[in-house]
Each structure stands twice: as structure tokens, then as C-alpha cells.
Structure 1
Amino acid sequence: MSFNLFLISEFWHLDHCNSFMLASCRMECHERLKIVAQEGDIDMFYNLLAEDPYLLDHKDTTSFIHTPLHIAASHGKILFAMEMIILKPSYARKLNHHGLSPMHLAVLNRQTDMVREFLHYESDLVRVRGREGKTPLHFLAEKGHDHVHHQEKLCLLTEFLSACSLCIQDVTNRSETALHIAVKNQNFDAFDCLLQGLRRSFDNNDIRNVIELKDGEGNNVLHIATATNQYQVVKLLLKSKIIDVNAKNSKGLTALDISDPHNREVREFLLHGGALNAKSLPQVLKDDGDNLRSNISFKENVIIFVRRFKNNTSSNLSLILLAAILIAPAAVSPLGGVWQDNKKPLKYFVYHMANIITHYLMVLFICLLLPCLNMNSSFY
């Protein structure tokens, strides 16, 4: 009995050691994979894959993990990155533990050529939402740390909008578009670039819808530009005539209300564009909800009745029978009836007029039913 227990403990110990050695080996492979990805060594990568065929599977099944593609994108190793995408296409959209995709990291690390390769591979990668709901476009709308970086971002902005114009409609968790972020970062060049991209890709109604979007604090880009005294943005918006200068924010204030009284440039642009205070705007007496709750008129009741009747009519036969029933009294009784000596003139006149009105009402009713009859008729 004791000998059996000894054997069991030895087997358990050997199995435990084997598992530990296997885990250590895999950990070592993963560490080596990081170095290989940083250096972009494709040959060494396949050597590692030969040692552990499941090397990439663990990272593929984990929701948030720093993959070799993230590492390659951060270091600008284009060939290695493309090799990863071919083997594991899902890596291109996977977020790491910081909530960033490979495209996000390429943008943040100024790997412009890598960004273009991602864009060429799949243009929709610019719409991948990461941390705080931001897409790579949102990061580009922020101002560069230096002049060169700033110019790089402007070039990429143009390429992003050309490859995927819909990305400008994407919002963050704070309901911010790239336009909001550009204005909040006082990045006029980026804002101008985004506005030009909008004009190239959308009609005026769609442009207005994007520009007038309100962020999480209830402000559109005009409100933000006015509050921060960005006269260039205000001038550009009013010159384009595609934004409501008197739109109210969530506090019920217009751009003129929140403008700095001491900033003459901004206020002059606003006033020249027809800006008004919220108190000066026409007051709306009733909204759509009030109209829906108002009493329905007699005319509307008649129209509703006729429409419901048409919609509920199940067959052409029922229409024909109804028309026959309605028209029969008018056919049997001539218009106005027949004069009889024992009738009084006033009673006859009343009867005569009632008969005529009834007759024409029946004809009108039948005419209203004819369109429904024509649409559904299958008789020859």
C-alpha cells in the first residue's frame, strides 16, 4: 500500500515538473517572440513557431492582449506586421490591455508608413474604437508635439478621409467627433482639413448634421470655438454657412450668449452672421408633442375613417357589395322623390334636399373607394 502511494506521488511530481517545464518553455517562447517582433525577424519567428505551433493561438483567444502585431506596429516593422496579419487577420482589430489597436499604436508612435500599410490593407481599421471610444482619427485630430509631427498628422488626416470618409462621423464615449477634438485642442489646421474632407464627401445636409452634433456637455463646435475665443474657427464656420449660428446648447444658450464680451473679433463675426441671444429668439408655443396631443378635427376624423376602411377591406367583393347597397336606394328612389298631392310643400322640400344630399354623399363615398378597388381588382 505504501509502495503504491509512493509511485502515485512520484508520478504526480513528474507530471507537475513536466507542466512547470512546459509553462516555462512557453513563457520563454513568448518573451523571445516579443524580441523577434521588435526586431522584425521573420525567419526567427518561424523557428519559434516550429518549436510551438500554438504560439499565436493563446493570444488570439485572449480578449485584451499585446500581440506581436502591436509590437511590430509600434516599432514600424512593416514586413513582420504584414506577416502577422496574413497568419492572424483578427490581430488587426484586437485591443491590447491599454485598449489600443495596432493602428492606434502606429499613429501614437509616429509610424506613418506603417499607418499607410494598415490603411491599404483595410481602410475600415481607422474606425476601430479603442480606449474611451477613440478611433485613430480622433488621435490624429489632436495637436502634434512639434511642427514635423503636426504636419505628419495633417497628411494622414487627409489620407484617412480619402480612404474612409465615414470615419469623420464616429464619436467617442464623450460624444465627441474628430471636429470636437480638433477645436478643443485648438488645432485649427486639423479642423480646416476635416471640414474640407466633409465638403468633398458629403452634401450640405450631411455636413450640417456632423458639424451640429453636440458633445457630452451639450456643445457643438461653434459653442466650443466661441467659448475658447477661437476666432478663426468661428469665421470659417460662419463663412461656410452650414451651421445654425443660433443653435442652443444643453443649457439653452447660443454662441452669442457664451461669447466673451471683451473679445471683439469673435463677437463681430457672430453678429455679422446673424447671431442672437437666446432671449431674442422667437419662442415656440407648441412642440410636436403638443400637436400630437391636441384634439382631432372633424375633417381629420373623416380622413382617418376612410383610410382605415380602405386598409381593413379584405376583398374586392366586399367593396362591390357595399357599393351596390349604397347606390340601390338612389336608383330605386328618383332624385327628390315623386310629388304627391297630399304632401305639404315644406316637408317635400326637406325630403327632396335630404335625398339629393344623401345621393351625392353616396357617390362621393364610392369614388373614395374606387382607388382601393382599382389597386386590388383581379376581375376581367
Structure 2
Amino acid sequence: MTLQDAIRHDNVGELYSLIDSNEMLLDKGCTGPFPHTPLHQAAAEGKTNVAMEIAMLKPSFARKLNKRGHSPMHLALQNRHYDTARALMTLNPKLIRVRGRDGITPLHLIAGEEGNNEQESKEPLELLAEFLSACKSSIEDLTSQYQTAVHVAVNKNNLKAFEVLLGWLKRVHLTEILKWKDKCGNTVLHIAMSQGRPKIIKLLIPYINVNTKNFHDETALEIFRRNPSGDLRLAIRLYWVRYLTILFTSNLSLSQFLSMELTRHEKLVLETGLGDKSTRDMVLIVTTLIATATYQAVLSPPGGYWQDNSSNTPANSSAIADEKPHKAGEIILNGSNLHKFTGLNSSVFVLSILVICYTAAPVAPHHPGLLLNALFWCCLHCRPYNRIPEI
């Protein structure tokens, strides 16, 4: 039996028998700059067991490109041997980033893959999600045409793959990638507009400025006017988005933006050193612990709360505290001590929230929800004081 026979039958035992008789078996014919290795052959034929063994014995084979510019994982995906591609990914997630012909990575390939029916389309979608989860940075890889995996999915009109990519970008806070331009200066929105993809356009509108121009000096909205999709509601929505964008944003090129004076926000970040992630994280951890402790102090103040109702009137000023009239749920601490506690505790809590907002300034423009959350916690902190009786 030859090596080709062992691969064809996916027989690992026979593979090792052949290696035992010839230690240089796997290296034969694999010394050139673009070899078609046994791993390429096993991956192309979907022989997962043999492919895994060869990849473990010869890890370097997994990254090599053959004369056609394909790695073993590229060949597995092109022939729809998804289990083989998945197996190779488990050995080394970075194989997802191997650039082949035209700069296409396995992620680009699977983003453009669409099954012939609903059942067939599920497997490439699952593999796409697994690729993204296994190698987060793979989404940043570009083809020779400067296209991301999202560009590829839109070009192929692969709506389901696009939805997976968009959902993942939102969850990992990388929606800025949607604004990246290809070799012609087109964002994914430009491509969707030119191809008349209303479903994709609706999903992209919140993330990309419709007035962004490509290298042909065309905005996405102008392309839409030239190639209308026939969706009246979408057309109305685009026009509203256009006018709101003009009102609240300015279309600056990168060179124009860099030529401007630093904003107050940018000066704040530079002067305080909050641009450094490690410093920012340390301050946020400490202030969050302080905010948590002061909030907990409101829920469990010194002395606690009365557990019962009492209408007894003390006979003299020296009566013990539990003889004073009170209601269940009222705070036991009273008088000047109560004022000192509430004033000091509230001041520390509000100060810690302000420090959190100040420290989070570098990311606040991208995550305005941070400020809303801080305001929410300030309001929530005041709620327990509603149970404090008037003195």
C-alpha cells in the first residue's frame, strides 16, 4: 500500500506502518517553495483522521501554500469538507488567518460560502461562528482588494453569513470594521447599495454614515438613488438618516481630522494618562469596589432597620432606643449620627461614580451607555434613603 492509498482509505494505522518503513515518507516531494504536501491531499479529499495525524507530525505543512496558492484548510473548505477544516482549527486557530491566493483567508472563504439548501447552509454558518470565536483577530484580515470577511459576505449576497458577522461584531464591540473601505474606497454599505440588497442595507444603516464617499467621490446614498431597491420605506428612512447625519455630524477626512486642534476630550485623556489601558483598568477596579461598598452600606446601615412597629412614648429623655415610637423598616440610626452617615456615604458614592465616568472618558464617545449606567446607579443609590423617617 502506498501513501496515497493510506490517505484515500483514511487509514492512520497504515500511515504509521509506511512511516515505520520509510522515515522520510512525508518529506518526499515537499522541499520546494510551494509543495503539494500529503496534508494538502488529505484535506482536499476530506480524510480527517489522516490529515490530523500528518498535521501533528508535520505542523509546518498546515501553513504551506501549494502552487495554486492554497493551504490545506483552504482546500478542505473549497471541497466543503467542513469537519476536516474544523479539526485543523482545533490544532492551531491561527490557521484561520493564513493568506492564500489573492490574500484570501479561510475566514473569507467561509464568509462567502452558502449551501444549496437550508440544511447545507447551516454547517458553513456554524463553522463561520466557530472561526470568529476561535480567532477574534481574523476579522481584521484583508484580501489583496482590501476586503474584510464582511465585504465578501455582502458581495456574495450571503445574508445569513452577514447576519452572523454583524451579530459578532456588535457583541465584541468591533462595529468600526464595517466602515473599512476596500481598494475602491467602498464600505460594505456602498456595495449593498450598488447591488440593491435592502435587507443588508437596513442592518447597516445604524453603523455607517450614508454620506461617506468612496474613491469615485460617490456617497452610499447617491448609489442608492442610481440603483433604487424599490423599497419605499427604506428610501424614506435613508433620507431621514441623511438629514440627521448632516445636522449632528461633520464629514471630515482622516487628514482633516488629524490636522485639527485636540478636543477637550482628547486633552483630558492625554493630561491624565487615562489613555493607558492598564492604568484605566486599575482605577476603575478600585472605584467600582468603593461604589459597591457605599451602596451596600445604604442597604445595611449601622444598627440596621427596625423589625417591628411600636407606638410607645418614652417616659423621659433617658429611655432606651427600642422604647421610642417607630415603624418596621425605618432606620434605627437617628439624629446627628444619621445625618453624618448619609452625608458622608452619599458623598463618597457620588465621588466614586464621578471618578468612574472621568476614568472611562477615553471610551465614552464609543460607549455612551456608560454615562447612562452611571446615572442609573446614582438614582438607585438614593432609593434606600426613601425609607429614612423624618427627624
Whether 1:207 aligns to 2:175 is yes
Residue of structure 2 in register with 1:150 after alignment: 121
Q: Which amino acid aligns with 1:254?
A: T
For the 8 Å contact 1:246–1:254, the answer to whether it is kept is yes
2:68 alignment counterpart: 98
Aligned to 2:102: 132
* Structure 1 position 282, deviation (Å): 6.9
Note the residue ranges of structure 1 that are not aligned, 5 or more in a row. 1-28, 293-380
- Write the distance in 2 (CA, Å) between the matches of 1:37 and 1:123: 24
* TM superposition shift of 1:188: 1.1
Inter-CA distance 275–227: structure 2 relative to 1 (3 Å threshold): farther
- Structure 2 unaligned blocks of 5 or more: 261-391
Residue 283 of structure 1: CA displacement?
Answer: 8.3
Structure 1 residues 253 and 129: alpha-carbon distance in aligned structure 2, compared to 1, 3 A threshold: same
Identify the structure with the greater helix proportion. Answer: 1
1:181 aligns with 2:155: no
| Structure 2 counterparts to residues 158-237 of structure 1, below 5 A | 158-201=129-172, 203=173, 206-208=174-176, 210-237=177-204
Alignment partner, residue 374 of structure 1:
none
Q: Which amino acid aligns with 2:182?
A: D
Q: What is aligned with 2:31?
A: 61
Match in the other structure for 1:13? none
TM-score (norm 2): 0.59
Partner of 1:361: none
Counterpart of 2:166, as a letter, is L
Letter of the 2:74 partner, please give it. H
1:189 and 1:77 map into 2 onto residues whose CA distance is 28
Q: Is the 8 A contact 1:176 1:215 kept in 2?
A: yes
Report the CA distance between 1:171 and its aligned residue.
Answer: 0.7
Counterpart in the other structure of 2:311: none
In structure 1, the residue matched to 2:19 is 49
Partner SS state of residue 214, structure 1: coil
Query: Percent same amino acid among aligned pairs?
Result: 39
1:44: how far off? 2.8
- AA in 1 matched with 2:193: T
> CA shift at 1:228, angstroms?
1.0
One-letter code of the match for 1:184? Answer: N
CA contact (8 A) 2:11 2:49 kept: no
Q: Distance in 2 between matches of 1:41 and 1:192?
A: 39
Label 1:86 to 1:188 Cα distance change in 2 as closer, same or farther (>3 A).
Answer: same
Tell me the C-alpha RMSD between the 2 structures. Answer: 2.8
Aligned with 2:93 (options 99, 106, 123): 123
- The alpha-carbon deviation at position 180 of structure 1 amounts to 0.6
CA contact (8 A) 1:246 1:276 kept: no
- 1:103/1:225 CA distance change after superposition, 3 Å: same
Larger Rg: 1
Task: Specify whether residues 112 and 257 from structure 1 end up closer, same or farther in structure 2 by C-alpha distance, changes over 3 A only.
Answer: same
Matches for 1:285-324 after TM superposition, within 5 Å: 288=256
Aligned: 1:263 with 2:229: yes
- Distance in structure 1 (CA, Å) of the matches to 2:115 and 2:25: 38
Q: In structure 2, give the amino acid aligned to 1:244.
A: N
The residue identity in structure 2 corresponding to 1:253 is E
- Counterpart secondary structure, 2:242: coil
Tell me the CA shift for residue 109 of structure 1. Answer: 1.6
Deviation (angstroms), 1:232: 0.7
Contact 1:37 1:69 in 2 (8 A): no
Q: Equivalents in 2 of 1:233, 1:275: separation in Å?
A: 21
Alignment partner, residue 248 of structure 1: 213
Quote how far apart the aligned CAs of 1:256 are. 1.2
CA contact (8 A) 1:42 1:80 kept: yes
Which position in structure 1 is the counterpart of 2:8?
A: 38
**CA offset at residue 287 of structure 1?**
6.2
Query: For the residues of structure 1 that align with 2:164 and 2:22, how far apart are their CA atoms?
Result: 48
- In the TM superposition, what is the alpha-carbon distance from 1:276 to its structure 2 partner? 9.1
